[in-house]
Amino acid sequence: MGAVPSTPRHTSTTAEAAEYLIGTFVGEKSFPLASDFWQKLLELPLTLRWSSYPQNNHHTRHLAKILIHLSWCLQEAVRTSGAPSVVYLKAINAVYFSSVFLKYIIENPQSDNIEELCLSLLENEPVPKDFMTDQRIENLLMHNVLTFLGSIDVSPTTSLLHQELLNFMLVAMSTQLLSGPTPGPKDVNPFLDAAMSQESLLVSSVVHRLLLNYIMRPRLPSSTAASYSIFFEENQPGVLQRVGSAAANFVLLPFNYLVNSNSEGSRNQLADCSLHVLLVLIHYHKCVVSDESITDRSDDSASTDPVSKVNTYFTVNPYSKALENARDIEFDRADIEGNAQNGPVVRLPFASLFDTLGMCLADETAVLLLYSLVQGNSDFLEYVLVRTDLDTLLMPILETLYSASRRTSNQIYMLLIILLILSQDSSFNASIHKMILPGVPWYKEHLLHQTSLGSLMVIILIRTVQYNLSKLRDVYLHTTCLATLANMAPHVHRLSAYASQRLVSLFYMLSRKYNKLVELRDDKLQTKAISTGDGLVEDMSAELQIYTDFLRIVLEILNAILTYALPRNPEVVYAIMHRQEVFQPFKSHPRFAELLENIYNVLDFFNSRMDAQRMDGEWSVEKVLLFIINNCRSWRGEGMKMFTQLHFSYEQESHPEEFFIPYVWQLVLSRCGFSFNADAITLFPVDMHANKEIYYDEMNTNQNGELNEQRVQFDP
């Protein structure tokens, strides 16, 4: 039972002994769980390149056994409370072995259900007396991995093990890459399922730790010497001397990351990896089958004939719930005094989280975290809305949208939806016009001096629509931009001259697109007799209807400003007067007529007074604007029709997983050094000739409607 292979008789170096033991590990002979072989293996200094792979796991069950030993090592590491010891050496070796070989088996599957993982011991396997043979190994493992992550603080002593465990988590959860984009009951994700089954207190502690890692961004040991001193005594070489084989190309050492990185100031591997793990966890959806028996009792005399009906449903994700229920640590005392939540609650420093997100929004994973928070956590959304320094978040968002041509379409969508969610609050719409920016150096098309944050937001949203018209041509993007502008409109205050001009130009841009569609449709209708393309005409008519709706929304935006905020926005009046000819072709349009009546009511008011006023010389821009400002004081809104204010709200579809699960893994693959066998990926389309680190850039992101889970609704 305790047999262990003796090292080669003529072995004179540690490397040869290590190579022999690793070869034995992947070989045909099976070693019992209690064999001394495992202790020798886990105490190895890994200094060689591996050329062998676990081809005999079905017979030896060595993967299951190394995972059990990893669990035991983590239990002992938790008991030592972070004290440096040989326990950490064994734990790091165990997690490293586990990561390498688990990754190899996952990305080289021999069957659809990954049977070759063999996460169980053989029935006749001898085990220690205290080992419960009926426990699932993946549950035992994930409980101990998550317990260590959630209960042991990150310190110079523990940081390397924390990092390796986060790497292992990504490897273990990568079984999702082998599933289709729509989760189904046949998907096999044993480690994710085990993570979902943990008790709520442990789940909350893990979410808390991952977010704290992201916020605090702890630095790992910056030199190999420092790292060695943590884990090894008597100057022994150790596990930090990693290998560079194909099997081990994912698990990158933290200190190697620091040595090779050119952006240490902006990147933090432990923080980044913590966020990747969190995003995978909170967006996981397990699909299960529910068998219901339906009995037809319409005829009491008839015999009972149960009819089997099979339904599928998604189980509750405890990590997503923990994030949604996270609370600001500043309100901890108030909750204790009488407003306590049922069950464990994640307590976070919202102020630090807000500032960290503001610094990191150039990264797409930070954008996805911000989206998850403002969309799902009402407390965090409320916290954001009452901050007086909204520019901390808005400026990086607007700068990213400004450079939309260099961003992924998914990132643009996420940012626009965040703005839409924020714009649902009237106090937000009012406060952004009170914050004056001295300058916007990254905006190159026009000098923006002493511009309000609200004016800049209007400018960037309109610029995004213009970009979409020329490049993406996506209806959802148009809808989201216009919905946000509509929410902002009644609260506009002192909109800048440039923003006002762009707002009128927005109507002109959309009207040109509308007119082109009308011409194309009419041309097709004229040639219908000789054409079989009736479907094309229908498609063009549908697109024409969409742009009719867009034009109406823009007119409603202008109406809302003129109806509720005209005296405060003379520049908007000036811009409408300056380009009033763009509205003329639509005065008789049945969808626009009533809205244009209000605009022409305003034009008539100011035009008539301007005609009546004698002027010496020409009307300059300054004189016209001064005239508008003076006459705004006498504006009473007479003759204006009052329309119900538009208010758009964002609603996530009931099954957003079809977008988010592939999206999260595209981000993980592109950012954490996690290379994966492209042939095995079925979660999303992969360009086999593309660089593996830019899978998500090469993907046809418009397949399946891209952001089908994004929906903008009118409030009733």
Specify whether the CB–CB gap between 173 and 104 falls below 8 A. Answer: no
Beta bridge partners of 289: 312
Report the alpha-carbon distance of residue 145 to residue 156 in Å, rounded: 19
**Residue 296, both tokens:** 């037809």
Selected residue with higher pLDDT from 701 and 500 = 500
Specify whether the CB–CB gap between 178 and 288 falls below 8 A. Answer: no
* pLDDT value of position 341: 62
Give the angle 26-681-188 at the CA atoms, nearest 5°: 70
Q: How many CB atoms lie within 10 A of CB 15?
A: 15
Burial letters 373-409, b for 16+ CB under 10 A, else e: bbbbbebbbebbbebeebbbbbbbbbbbbbebeebbb
Residue 232: partners with Cβ closer than 8 Å, 6 or more residues away: 89, 238
**Residue 274, both tokens:** 């913590």
pLDDT 10s digits, 303-359: 444 444 568 888 899 999 999 999 999 875 445 444 556 778 999 999 999 999 999
Burial letters 448-484, b for 16+ CB under 10 A, else e: beebbbbbbbbbbbbbbbbbbbeebebebbbbbbbbb
Q: How many CB atoms lie within 10 A of CB 136?
A: 14
* pLDDT value of position 424: 97
Q: How many CB atoms lie within 10 A of CB 282?
A: 23
Cα–Cα distances in Å, from 476 out to 69, 415, 666? 51, 13, 21
Average pLDDT over residues 392-401: 96
Average pLDDT over residues 473-486: 92
Which segment of 1-15, 164-178, 661-675, 683-697 scores lowest on mean pLDDT?
1-15
Helix 593-612 to helix 621-632 angle (10° resolution) is 110
pLDDT 10s digits, 576-635: 999 999 999 999 999 999 999 999 999 999 999 988 887 667 888 898 999 999 999 889
What's the distance, CA 124 to chain centroid? 46
* pLDDT value of position 55: 59
Selected residue with higher pLDDT from 501 and 288 = 501
DSSP-based three-state secondary structure for 135: coil
Report the candidate in 248, 34, 180 with the shortest Cα–Cα distance to residue 657: 180
Which segment of 1-10, 426-435, 442-451 scores lowest on mean pLDDT?
1-10
Task: Report the relative pairing of strands 449-452 and 648-652 from DSSP bridges.
Answer: unpaired
* pLDDT value of position 220: 75
Mean pLDDT of the chain: 80
Specify whether the CB–CB gap between 168 and 73 falls below 8 A. Answer: no
Beta bridge partners of 314: 287
Beta bridge partners of 651: 711
pLDDT 10s digits, 147-184: 999 999 998 888 889 999 999 999 999 999 998 888 88
Task: Report the relative pairing of strands 648-652 and 710-714 from DSSP bridges.
Answer: antiparallel
pLDDT 10s digits, 254-307: 323 333 333 333 578 999 999 999 999 999 998 888 765 444 444 444 444 444
Report the candidate in 87, 174, 191 with the shortest Cα–Cα distance to residue 138: 191
Report the candidate in 413, 341, 336 with the shortest Cα–Cα distance to residue 377: 341
Look up residue 369 and give its amino acid: L
Cα–Cα distances in Å, from 613 out to 576, 598, 629? 20, 23, 15
Q: How many CB atoms lie within 10 A of CB 305?
A: 9
Selected residue with higher pLDDT from 229 and 461 = 461
* pLDDT value of position 447: 94
Report the alpha-carbon distance of residue 612 to residue 47 in Å, rounded: 92
